[in-house]
Amino acid sequence: MTYHRTPTTYVPGSRTLPRDYYVSPAILAEEKEKIHARSWCCIGRAAPLAEPGEYVVRTIADESLIVVRDREGVLHAFFNVCRHRGTRICREESGRFAQTIQCPYHAWTYGIDGRLIAAPHMQEVEGFHTADYPLHEAAIAEWDGFVFVNLANDPEPFDRVWAPMRARLQRYSLSRLSIGHRVAYDVAANWKLVFQNYSECLHCPTIHPKLATVLPYQSGANDFTEGPFLGGYMEIKAPNESATMSGRTCGRLVGDLPEDDRHRAFYYSLMPNLLLSLHPDYVNYYLVHPIAPDRTLVESEWLFHPDTLADPSSRPRDAIEFWDLTNRQDWEIVEWSQRGVSSRRYGTGPYSARESVPAAWDREYLRQMGRG
């Protein structure tokens, strides 16, 4: 694959986004309609949905979805809306349906495949047929242990959209990894600041002194420099073996990695809501949920080879603590950024060559908003 040193992708004259993009409720509403409601959004791992009837409830672009696996092993993403009078059906965040999904209001009852199978007293209504009222369904895709949904009526096929990433990540065997830790961060900043911060390491020497000793910010190169998928690798500085508190590997390699990749960490921002960090011995990812112009929920999980979690001599906490420290440093600085860009005096500023990837992210964002 081809990698590009960051300065080669720099577009002279690139500037940051204007103030309104970070403070306007109207722009946030527009983003949800034009970006999140039309894109393949990751909702997390498939592990909680392994058995028939197991479900999770997730929110994308203010739409509540019931994601459930049916008896044939097929995943569905149902809008959490009863076909009778529109009542929200499911209140719990996760669980397991024994046989059916029932609305708590008037007991309309659906199979876990979404078919309406019971509607009290509707047999008295002329022309009513249960087959005409299945739960509304969103498009869904399962890839390497991750689950994605798309709210659009006629979305571009997932396999076509994600083809570039599928080929690049195959060597990491993501589908077999197990969840070792989960945390949710409530960040007082706009969701775009989270993406932009993740997309550059110019800030690393000042904000992340620990990280900078392991992953020098001038090392590495990018293999995605334009479009919805951006990022590349950074070199793990010897004698460090991985991005951990001790610098040692925390367990088994996650996949069949070539020698070069055993000394690299890859970081990708994947529009519209996934940040993916790949290390030789673990993977962690972030789901970015816009809540308000100045508030973002970030959910993160650390994934390990199953043998790492089963081996008492392994050190998964070494990786967890490294990134929890780094994450909290990031959230603090993006919250200060939010305070600054909210000022009446804030104006757009120039991106440097070392910020070519966040500048490319802005270009893709504006394109999806119809302003590119």
Q: Which fold has domain 6-38+167-368?
A: Naphthalene 1,2-dioxygenase Alpha Subunit; Chain A, domain 1 (3.90.380)
Confidence of residue 6 (pLDDT cuts 50, 70, 90): very low
Which pLDDT score is estimated for 38? 97
Which pLDDT score is estimated for 7? 43
Partners of 110 in beta bridges: 101, 116
- What single-letter amino acid sits at 197? N
- Judged by DSSP in three states, 333 sits in helix
Task: Compute how many other C-beta atoms are within 10 angstroms of the C-beta atom of residue 302.
Answer: 24
Determine what percent of the chain is predicted with pLDDT higher than 70. Answer: 98
Domain residue spans in the chain? 6-38+167-368, 41-159
Residue 85 has pLDDT above 80, yes or no: yes
Which pLDDT score is estimated for 45? 97
**Going along 115-246, which residue ranges are E strands?**
116-118, 137-143, 146-150, 178-187, 221-224, 229-235
Residue-wise pLDDT tens digits, 112-141: 999 999 999 998 999 999 999 999 999 999
Higher model confidence: residue 148 or residue 168?
148
Task: Tell me which CATH code domain 41-159 carries.
Answer: 2.102.10.10
Which pLDDT score is estimated for 4? 54
Would you say 141 and 250 are in contact if contact means Cβ atoms under 8 Å apart? no
Q: In what order do the strands lie in the sheet with 295-304?
A: 178-187, 295-304, 283-292, 274-278, 264-270, 229-235, 221-224
Residue-wise pLDDT tens digits, 248-283: 999 999 999 999 999 999 999 999 999 999 999 999
Q: In what order do the strands lie in the sheet with 75-79?
A: 41-45, 146-150, 137-143, 75-79, 63-69, 54-60, 94-96
